[in-house]
Amino acid sequence: MMAGAMGKPQPHADKLASAVEGDVLHAAALLPSITRLQALAGDFCGAVTENPSLPEQRQILRRVHSLLNLSVWLDGPDIVLKPGSPRITATHVNGAVDYCLHAYHHLTLLAPKLAFVDLLLDFFQTALGGDGQAIVAAAERLRAAADAVQAAATQVEDSADAALKAGIIPPYRLSDFHTRDWEAAEYVLLPIRGLRSPALAELQQVPAANSPLSASVASLSAEQAAHLATPNILHSSHEDGPKLAALTQSDVLRLKISAPGVRVLPQVFYEPARSPMLELDPALRGATAAAAQLSVRVVDTATQQPVMGARLVAFTDFAARLGAEGFSDAAGGIQLALAKKQKIEVLVIYGPAGYWGLYRAATTLEEGERLPLQAVDLSIPDHLQLLYGANSPSAGEGVTVGVIDTGIDASHPHLALAGGAAFVVAESDAGGPGPAAIEGGHGTHVAGILAGRGAAPGGRRGVAPGIKLMSYRVFPNAGGGASNYDIIRAIDRGVADGCDLLNLSFGGEVRDEAVREAIKDAFDKGTLCLAASGNDRRGSVSYPARWPEALAVAAVGRLGSFPAGSSEELDAQAPFSPLDASLFAAGFSNIGNEIDLAGPGVGIVSTVPGGGYGVMSGTSMACPAVAGAAAALLAHHPAVLAMPRDSQRAIEMLRLLNTAARSMGFAREYEGLGLLP
């Protein structure tokens, strides 16, 4: 059944009059639906702050954009109805929207909300086609989901869980998002080969620099969007270079005809390759809450002073990711939804900058218990210092290395930044090469590993302090991932700035041809790109490290290079080296035959924004260690550096690195050729 105004049932499709030639769904009469879709977008946008995971936030924002795009599309030409099919009216459509939104507000968990919004979007995808029979069927699916939610809302069982179990709302994964025909998704436009082409120069020119990207899409009427002769270019790196465009699926097909020399590639986002923290299941947080709140305090081991900003996760069921979590306040206190002496399978604390973490297994917590964190002692060497701490302050001199990351703090007293820029098209490339405002410490940590100029007892020396260090920030100040479009622009700029090596401490699971093309172009111009293999706990090598044109870097660790009982112990997993029993392949590191080299990546102490030092783990840390060792090695071969900047130069640099690498005794998939001296 279709739902009428206020959700009142209407006759079945076979009882509706048939549409005749000229019948339409009047766009003006759909204003109530448009208003409700816009309100839903606003409500859904509020869920961003409730879901801290970046992948979750991105999926929420995608639905917000979809709902807003849909409201713009509906406020356009009338929808022509298919003659002979049931004659659907705006009253039917508006009523169906009212009916399902009433049910939507009973949902509390994110996954069912995402699935429900997608059902609504699919309903309108069908409605825009004008086939009354298909519209009725889509409305029946939507109503079935709404009825299941509302019926379950009065039961003890959570309405969303009940609807999922009944199969009314389909199981949902964050990767299930798909673009509908009426949506203008963002694509990267590249030539068939390389990064520059006259074919790109022939496309529509970029809007004025002060024109917001959102306005470029929102200002299009549905009729204009449906009849674009050329793509809506949001940004252009060069007149004949890569471009970011907003295209509907129909636009993509038309572009294949009008510009066959242009590739249309999806926009892809990458995350920093830092070892992920253990987390509770987002859908089950709070499920083990006890009536009493347990209070604990996080303190400095030596001084017993409170430690603020530590993140504690207590797993009562580690396999199911059940438990409780919290952050320490200014007094070091954390309130946990746990009963006293409740069995905890795994307890982990991730320390703030300047502190190691804490790990305990099969434990309990007492009311008011003090949990000690050990402060970083710069006089005690970590794995990086054990390997490269004796390098000369001039190591790497004459070599230029670019760090494409979250930005580098140029004010840090132990870093010397030569230049750089921001490449974040969503923020009009504003903000410069410094650290991103949200989660911006990653790039500064990478830079310290690569080229720190500190000295004991107040600092640490990086692997190649003598390099010329460049920073290309691609992660937004607002937080979130870095787009492939911004990354290819940063690689292109790094090559233009004369970088010999580019450090890519980020990754993703999507097979992205856009970044690959930029890496190939860099190689052809004499620049090598080193990429972190990823941190999916022995998963497949992530992109872009997986591409053969990049040097894929895995992570290893050493027992005794981090404090006993620290959270880094979680990463000490087999296999251990047959040549040195203290060496292990990091438990988080991705592996595979694509691995080229390996470096220290567990419990690495390096620079952080604000002038201090902190601990991080990940293939993100191993990658600059290898890049620094590569720079130090290349500095001893000025003849190779002086070669013309072409593919032969890159091949000779690669030959030097591969020849110098030494096996640590691991299988190929864990270390590739091994460790650079």
| Domain housing 312 | 282-373
Backbone angles phi, psi at 247, to 5 degrees: -135, 140
163 found inside a domain: yes
Q: What is the pTM of this model?
A: 0.77
48 found inside a domain: yes
264: left (phi over 0), alpha (psi -120 to 50) or beta: beta
Tokens of 363: 């434990």
Same domain, 109 and 158: yes
E strand or H helix at 271: strand 269-272
DSSP tag of 89: -
DSSP 463-525: S-TTSEEEEEE-S-TT-SPEEHHHHHHHHHHHHHTT-SEEEE-EEBSS--HHHHHHHHHHHHT
Residue 49: count of CB within 10 angstroms of its CB? 9
Contact predicate 586/602, CB 8 Å: yes
Encode pLDDT of 440-492 as tens digits.
Answer: 999 999 999 999 999 988 999 999 999 999 999 999 998 889 999 999 999 99
pLDDT on residue 336: 93
**How many Cα neighbours within 13 Å face the side chain of 437?**
8
Dist. CA 321–CA 651, nearest whole Å: 47
Is the four-CA dihedral 495, 500, 503, 509 of positive or negative sign?
A: positive
pLDDT on residue 183: 61
Same domain, 333 and 200: no
6 Cβ contact list (under 8 Å, min separation 6) = 95, 98, 99
For 194, 197, 462, the CA distances from 200, given in Å and listed in that order, are: 12, 6, 42
Encode pLDDT of 491-511 as tens digits.
Answer: 999 999 999 999 999 999 999
599 found inside a domain: yes
pLDDT on residue 99: 86
CATH code assigned at 589: 3.40.50.200
111 found inside a domain: yes
Same domain, 287 and 358: yes
Dist. CA 212–CA 193, nearest whole Å: 30
Q: What is the three-class DSSP state of 41?
A: helix
Dist. CA 49–CA 60, nearest whole Å: 10
Query: How many domains does one find in the chain?
Result: 4
Active site residues: 405, 442, 620
Same domain, 328 and 463: no
Cis peptide before 677 (omega within 30 of 0): no
Q: Is the pLDDT of residue 406 over 90?
A: yes
Same domain, 295 and 254: no
CATH code assigned at 310: 2.60.40.1120
Dist. CA 36–CA 123, nearest whole Å: 15
pLDDT on residue 58: 63
Same domain, 113 and 246: no
Give residue for tokens 């690959």.
Answer: 516
pLDDT on residue 127: 87
User: Shortest CA distance to 318 belongs to which of 351, 280, 261, 354?
Assistant: 280
96 Cβ contact list (under 8 Å, min separation 6) = 2, 3, 123, 139, 142, 143
| Residue with more model confidence, 45 or 99 | 99
Contact predicate 248/183, CB 8 Å: yes
384 found inside a domain: no
User: Shortest CA distance to 77 belongs to which of 119, 123, 128?
Assistant: 128
Residue 578's Cβ-count burial label (10 Å; 0-12, 13-18, 19+) is: exposed
Dist. CA 163–CA 111, nearest whole Å: 12
Residue 655: count of CB within 10 angstroms of its CB? 11
Dist. CA 593–CA 386, nearest whole Å: 27
Dist. CA 489–CA 424, nearest whole Å: 9
Instruction: Give the domain-ending residue among 343, 373, 403.
Output: 373
Instruction: Give the domain-ending residue among 143, 176, 209.
Output: 176
Identity (one letter) of the amino acid at 464? A
Highest mean pLDDT among 54-58, 149-153, 210-214, 645-649: 645-649
Q: What angle do CA 216, 221, 225 make, to 5 degrees?
A: 75
Same domain, 336 and 405: no
380 found inside a domain: no
Same domain, 478 and 620: yes
Name beta bridge partners: 402.
Answer: 470, 502
Same domain, 441 and 589: yes
Give residue for tokens 């009354």.
Answer: 132
Name beta bridge partners: 502.
Answer: 402, 529
Dist. CA 325–CA 302, nearest whole Å: 25
pLDDT on residue 182: 54
Same domain, 405 and 362: no
- End-to-end CA distance of the chain, in Å? 72
Dist. CA 437–CA 442, nearest whole Å: 11
Q: Are strands 528-532 and 551-558 parallel, antiparallel or unpaired?
A: parallel
Query: Average pLDDT, stretch 135-164?
Result: 68
User: Shortest CA distance to 41 belongs to which of 120, 146, 112, 131?
Assistant: 120
pLDDT on residue 253: 86
pLDDT on residue 118: 83
Same domain, 208 and 234: yes
Contact predicate 305/271, CB 8 Å: no
Instruction: Give the domain-ending residue among 267, 290, 313.
Output: 267
Q: Is the pLDDT of residue 226 over 50?
A: no
Give the lowest-confidence range in 117-126, 198-207, 418-427. Answer: 198-207
Same domain, 61 and 195: no
Backbone angles phi, psi at 422, to 5 degrees: -100, 140
**How many Cα neighbours within 13 Å face the side chain of 631?**
38
677 found inside a domain: no
Tokens of 472: 């290309």
Query: Average pLDDT, stretch 520-542?
Result: 97
74 found inside a domain: yes
Give residue for tokens 């920073």.
Answer: 471
